[in-house]
Structure 1
Amino acid sequence: MTHLLENYGKRIPMTFTHGEGVYLYDQTGKQYLDFTSGIGVMNLGYSFEAGKAAVKAQVDAIPHLSNLYENPLQEEVAAYLDYQGSYKAFFANSGAEANEAALKLARLLKPDTTILAFEDGFHGRTFGAMSATMQDKIQKGFAPLVPGFTKAVYNDVESLSAAVTDKTGAIIFEIVQGEGGVTPITQAFSESLKAFQKQGILLIVDEVQTGNGRTGKLFGFEHFGLEPDIITSAKGLGNGLPIGVMLAKTEYATAFTAGKHGSTFGGNPIAMASAKAVLKQLTQPAFLAEVTENAAFLGAELADKLADKASVVAIRQLGLMVGIELRDANQVPKVLVAARAHGLLVLSAGHDVIRLLPPLVMSQAQLADGVAILEAIL
């Protein structure tokens, strides 16, 4: 890899040639059980035939359309996402772009105010999204950042209350802090956020990783009775195709008048074709019920096989999003290497967490196989 920038560090010396179901195969033909979903992207696995057929048909029809013209596919996908009947959509190409749109809209709606974000949160690496990502390792070297952001401690009601002032216009947060260590929001913290929303502060919920069925519901905030003013989503929405979306309550959407924001490729017909197929699957109640059932099974397996390990501090979970906190952070990269040797792909998060993001279509037998490998390693 001599012609590429090294911003991803030293890449793992293996190449995947194809995927099938919930498995990936490398250049030697070795099979790997994928507990990463391409970092939460391939939610429906590598054999989602309805999505593949939709994409192929769209490539043959019209692969790209300018946003100068009507695109019925965008309307259809937006309708699936607006299951509550109170949001309008702006399509982008990634989670960071969706968050940039959300931050811009918040500034339009609440001029001359600040936006509150949380330590260990992650919202992207573009300048606005990075400025809302309160992690030194992400922000270091890029000062001066975009002004107007303040921070508090996630899941700390006292810290939140102390950070909110009469200048606070919006609060951006994740339902589960993924990159920060797989930490789900608490009910008490969500109630505090709702209280500030009633005072007129906008709630921006970053569902880039927790949306699209990952938690057993279309959006993670549904578990906590929240009704966000602005929602962002990406990753699993296209099951491999680059797509992001910002949803804004209808009464706020009019702030984005012509020319205020845009994207050449946002809402591209190919990405929309894939997203439509994905959402058609995700909006089937029986499908999400099965995800919830399998998530409960996975939680029980982890508790039974890993919770009492000396190396394990805690296991955190919401749906099929799991963080296994280890006592020794130095063991995390070793576990990743050992897992690959045993034919299992897992991720890290934060400093000391093994992150699991299995495809939503993974069977209980396959989930058990993955846990058994981790049990042997730990």
Structure 2
Amino acid sequence: MIPVNQPLLDGNEKKYLLECIDTGWISSEGPFVKQFEDGFAARVRRRHGVAVCNGTAALDAAIEALGIGPGDEVILPTFTIISCIIQIVRAGATPVLVDSDPATWNMDTDQIEAKISSRTKAIMVVHTYGLPVDMDPVLDIARRYGLRVIEDAAEMHGQTYKGRPCGSFGDVSTFSFYPNKHVTTGEGGMVLVDDDSLADDCRSLRNLCFQPHKRFVHERLGWNLRMTNMQAALGLAQLERLDEFVARKRHIGARYSAGLADLPSARLPLAGTHYADNIYWVFGLVIDEEKGMDAEDVMKRLASEGVGTRPFFCPMHQQPVLRRMGLFENDRHPVAELMYRQGFYLPSGMALSDGDIDRTIEAVWKVLG
């Protein structure tokens, strides 16, 4: 079976991990945490990086630090992972959804302004699968209406928008370091900000809101979201190779694109826009409905050919847990619904060989061609 993802861990990962063990610095107090925070923040051109235990935790801390709560509304894409909406709902705020752009698979920025109300506090942009959201319209709307911008750049390590790093646009931006990301720490995430007070707030929230002079006296509820020194050691070794990893991903995307260019029954990822070239975090396909198969059918057939796959995101307005809360009863977002029904992605991991790519292309042609 060709796996959907397999990370590359053949740089300085082992060396740095052994240093953690040899020195005994294995907790969040170790020196690699600060080195990783500073290095990653510099790469994204941010003043502050706050390392946390995963990408969901980064979003949780970001939403809490911005003071989003009951009575507030947050506009975000329906086509995203559920991590983006969890803390909005738990904080008592109301998520307001927009549909996807069928070309880029990102949120349709033309729909945002119509969703703004007197209660809107923030826009959450989520860069999806390989191309960034068109940020200029979002930032213009945010300025005109006085809204905060939360930028989920979990899948955009090394990607840029008009030459500027993804992760540098939001009032608060977040990353994930799950094993399928360009930079992995196994599990891990990071909050990135320029504002000193927001950075301090996020650091406090990740560390149970301990106080400097009265450690076990708490004025606020936080979380234990700390990243360990061992995770940060992995991340630092991975960060050293980010440019190499970006080039590798684009090679994978180009090879798939060439091999599947004439496939008659599926839409391939857009190679680029006027503001960015695709980074191909994953290589997705959207099956034409006229083919008479949905994504689930195709994925089962590819599995029988020894090719691992993953489905596209289930839209937020179709999530059973959210519908049971009374959310999104009348929402219809046809582009996202189609992408979920007909979309999936092929093996896209960093360790994928050209032979694996070619075998996958052959299997896709066998199933769909």
Q: TM-score, normalised by structure 2?
A: 0.70
Structure 1, residues 245-281: CA drift from partner, whole Å, max 9, x if none? 1112234535617744435461201111111111111
Matched, 1:58 2:20: yes
C-alpha change, 1:250 and 1:221, in structure 2 (3 Å) is: farther
**Structure 1: distance between partners of 2:121 and 2:202:** 20
Matched, 1:323 2:313: no
What is the DSSP-based 3-state SS (H/G/I as helix, E as strand, rest coil) of the residue aligned with 2:27? Answer: coil
C-alpha change, 1:341 and 1:63, in structure 2 (3 Å) is: farther
**Structure 2: distance between partners of 1:125 and 1:257:** 17
Q: What residue in structure 1 maps to residue 33 of structure 2?
A: 74
Of 252, 256, 259, the match for 1:298: 256
Q: CA shift at 1:123, angstroms?
A: 4.2
C-alpha change, 1:158 and 1:343, in structure 2 (3 Å) is: closer
Larger strand share, 1 or 2: 1
Matches within 5 A, 1:37-116: 37=5, 42=6, 44-45=7-8, 47-62=9-24, 64-66=26-28, 69=29, 71-82=30-41, 83-107=43-67, 113-116=72-75
Matched, 1:204 2:150: yes
C-alpha change, 1:115 and 1:296, in structure 2 (3 Å) is: same
Q: CA shift at 1:125, angstroms?
A: 7.9
Identity of aligned residues (%): 13
**Structure 2: distance between partners of 1:246 and 1:278:** 18
Q: CA shift at 1:99, angstroms?
A: 0.9
Q: What residue in structure 2 maps to residue 368 of structure 1?
A: 358
C-alpha change, 1:118 and 1:247, in structure 2 (3 Å) is: same
Moved over 6 A (4+): 218-221, 223-226
Q: CA shift at 1:119, angstroms?
A: 1.9
What is the DSSP-based 3-state SS (H/G/I as helix, E as strand, rest coil) of the residue aligned with 1:289? Answer: helix
Q: What residue in structure 2 maps to residue 152 of structure 1?
A: 98
Q: CA shift at 1:323, angstroms?
A: 2.0
Q: What residue in structure 1 maps to residue 317 of structure 2?
A: none
Q: What residue in structure 2 maps to residue 28 of structure 1?
A: none
Structure 1, residues 52-104: CA drift from partner, whole Å, max 9, x if none? 443344244336325xx5x3211211122112443312222222111101111
Contact 1:237 1:275 in 2 (8 A): no
Contact 1:113 1:168 in 2 (8 A): yes
Q: TM-score, normalised by structure 1?
A: 0.69
Matches within 5 A, 1:264-343: 264=224, 266-282=226-242, 284=243, 286-304=244-262, 306=263, 308-309=264-265, 312=266, 314-317=267-270, 318-320=278-280, 321-328=282-289, 331-343=294-306
C-alpha change, 1:75 and 1:111, in structure 2 (3 Å) is: farther
**Structure 2 portions without partners, runs of 5+:** 101-106, 208-222, 271-277, 313-339
C-alpha change, 1:264 and 1:157, in structure 2 (3 Å) is: closer
Give the number of equivalent residue pairs: 305
Q: What residue in structure 1 maps to residue 308 of structure 2?
A: 345
| Residue identity opposite 1:33 in structure 2 | I
Matches within 5 A, 1:236-275: 236=181, 239=184, 241-251=186-196, 253-254=198-199, 256=201, 259-262=204-207, 263-264=223-224, 266-275=226-235
Contact 1:95 1:244 in 2 (8 A): yes
| Residue identity opposite 1:341 in structure 2 | S
**Aligned-pair Cα RMSD in Å:** 3.4
Q: CA shift at 1:159, angstroms?
A: 2.3
C-alpha change, 1:33 and 1:288, in structure 2 (3 Å) is: same
**Structure 1 portions without partners, runs of 5+:** 1-31, 132-143
Of 163, 166, 175, the match for 1:233: 175
Structure 1, residues 112-143: CA drift from partner, whole Å, max 9, x if none? 743222222324188416x3xxxxxxxxxxxx
